[in-house]
Amino acid sequence: MTKALHEMAVEEVAPLIETKQVSPVEVVRDVFRQVRKKNETLNVYLEITREEAMERAKIAEKEIMNGRYLGMYHGIPLSIKDNIYFKGRGATMGSKIHEFFVSDFDATVVRKLKQAGANFTGKVNMHEYAWGITTNNPHFGPCRNPWDTSRIPGGSSGGSGVAVAADMCMASLGTDTAGSIRIPASACGIVGLKPTHGLVSKYGCFPLSWSLDHLGPMTKTVRDAAGLLEILVGFDPLDPTSVHAPFVDYQKGLTGQLKNLVIGVDEDYFFHNIDPEIDNIVRRGIQQLEDAGAKVKPINVRSLQYAEYSEMITILSEAATIHQKNLKERPEDFGEDIKPLLALGQLPSAVDYLEAQQLRRKIKQEFAEAFQKVDVFISPTLPIVPPKIGEEVIELNGKETDIVTQMIRMTGPANLTGLPALSVPCGFADGLPVGMQLMGPAFSEALLLNVGYVFEKVSDMKNRKPVMNH
């Protein structure tokens, strides 16, 4: 083997496990070596479940030796964002308030992963209550970007992004309310998929904003994401937003053919005020897809001008509702960055909230019309490179700008509309990874994954790994 086990993608190591060339015990042991080596610097894991993982690896080994191989994720070490419930384990939500909370049941996604034979390495760091994009956690310390440890890894699923990028697990689960899977995927140079709203159950995941929340895979490769999605999907009566959708073999959909794919490019919204280097990298990526057979069509979703307003009113109002009791009784226990946001969420009126929902419907309708003309929208995932830890303002094209507003600008529309969106690594700006975002119609995950798969083959990211600066 030319690669160490921990460096491999799931798609590379799973066949070795299936054919008994490698034991799940060897795999998990190798991954934990990376955890031991890197966790102190990167501050990824809030809880490491090494002993349980070693036990589960032995059980997986026995099952496979006895001819009971359960599929791609059997014996694969996975980390979980710390707002997803795991029976008998803590879930802090990255907060002081839930510091000692222990769940007495498994989230639906955890139950499904257990049934698929997956292994679990522990719970990873996140932005407090998932309400932020830096994972600069005031209670557990900042999580650090493995490409440059002075910089943020994105958030709120920052720990998940770093764990995968730094080979401290082989895949992870994140949550996404305004971009929280795709932002760290872009910042850390991995694949992140926010599925269609309702496709993956959120039961057993602590909410930030119930109408915007999603749960999805964060992986090293597109095929890994496709395989993980196959496990996670399915109607769940325990989740009121869950939908019935036909099962799709996402891996089979990775044909590598684009067959006259039409890429929509909205210059006014998705390419407005972007870091010039990121702009060039993503446009080069689109050109590479054109060279592979796709066509590009300029298209304008006019109501996207209201997306930021609609997203912020919705998330502020819903988050304030969820946290109102603790905000009254324990205001001093919230971090200094999210406390004002939760207080701000009490200001919008019912009229403001309902207006935001009407705008949201209009944006959704215009996207549906746009998807009659194009197959996917492509944009940068982030308009800026990951800022330094502690920075709140950066300069973009000669003007000072707030980093939170900038970092959710490209990703927020997919949450508002509930449409699927995939971030794939696209290149490097200033030595930091750049993500390309693909957004499609509802339930077009197979299409997005296939486009991402084609791009992965031509992208210059292949096999580049972060070398940590200390």
Task: Note if 81 is an active site residue.
Answer: yes
| pLDDT tier, 317 (very low <50, low <70, confident <90, very high otherwise) | very high
* pLDDT tens per residue across span 290-300: 999 999 999 99
Distance CA 356, CA 350 (A): 10
What backbone phi and psi angles, to 5 degrees, belong to 178? -140, 10
Mean pLDDT computed over 180-190: 98
Q: Provide the percentage of residues in the chain whose pLDDT is more than 90.
A: 96
| pLDDT value for 1 | 56
- The catalytic residue among 180, 201, 209, 317 is 180
* pLDDT tens per residue across span 359-391: 999 999 999 999 999 999 999 999 999 999 999
Non-local CB neighbours of 457 within 8 Å, separated by 6+ positions = 256
* pLDDT tens per residue across span 33-48: 999 999 999 999 999 9
Kindly tell me if the per-residue pLDDT of 238 is higher than 90: yes
Amino acid at 208: L
Q: Buried b / exposed e across 28-67, counting CB within 10 Å, b at 16+?
A: bbbbbebbeebbeebbbbbbbbbeebeebbeebbebbeee
- The catalytic residue among 156, 157, 172, 317 is 156
Distance CA 49, CA 44 (A): 13
Kindly tell me if the per-residue pLDDT of 463 is higher than 80: no
| pLDDT value for 355 | 98
| pLDDT tier, 470 (very low <50, low <70, confident <90, very high otherwise) | very low
Tell me the average pLDDT of the chain: 96
* pLDDT tens per residue across span 187-222: 999 999 999 999 999 999 999 999 999 999 999 999
- The catalytic residue among 23, 38, 79, 81 is 81
> SS3 sequence, the chain?
CCCCHHHCCHHHHHHHHHCCCCCHHHHHHHHHHHHHHHHHHHCCEEEECHHHHHHHHHHHHHHHHCCCCCCCCCCCEEEEECCECCCCCECCCCCCCCCCCECCCCCHHHHHHHHCCCEEEEEECCCHHHCCCCCEECCCEECCECCECCECCCCCCHHHHHHHHCCCCCEEEEEECCCCCHHHHHHHCCEEEECCCCCECCCCECCCCCCCCEEEEEECCHHHHHHHHHHHECCCCCCCCCCCCCCCCCCCCCCCCCCCCEEEECHHHHCCCCCHHHHHHHHHHHHHHHHCCCEEEECCCHHHHHHHHHHHHHHHHHHHHHHHHHHHHCHHHCCCCHHHHHHHCCCCCHHHHHHHHHHHHHHHHHHHHHCCCCCEEEEECCCCCCCECCCCEEEECCEEEEHHHHHCCCCHHHHHHCCCEEEEEEEEECCEEEEEEEECCCCCHHHHHHHHHHHHHHCCCCCCCCCCCC
Non-local CB neighbours of 1 within 8 Å, separated by 6+ positions = none
Distance CA 325, CA 321 (A): 8
* pLDDT tens per residue across span 383-414: 999 999 999 999 999 999 999 999 999 999 99
| pLDDT value for 469 | 54
Non-local CB neighbours of 456 within 8 Å, separated by 6+ positions = 221, 222, 424, 425, 462
| pLDDT tier, 462 (very low <50, low <70, confident <90, very high otherwise) | low
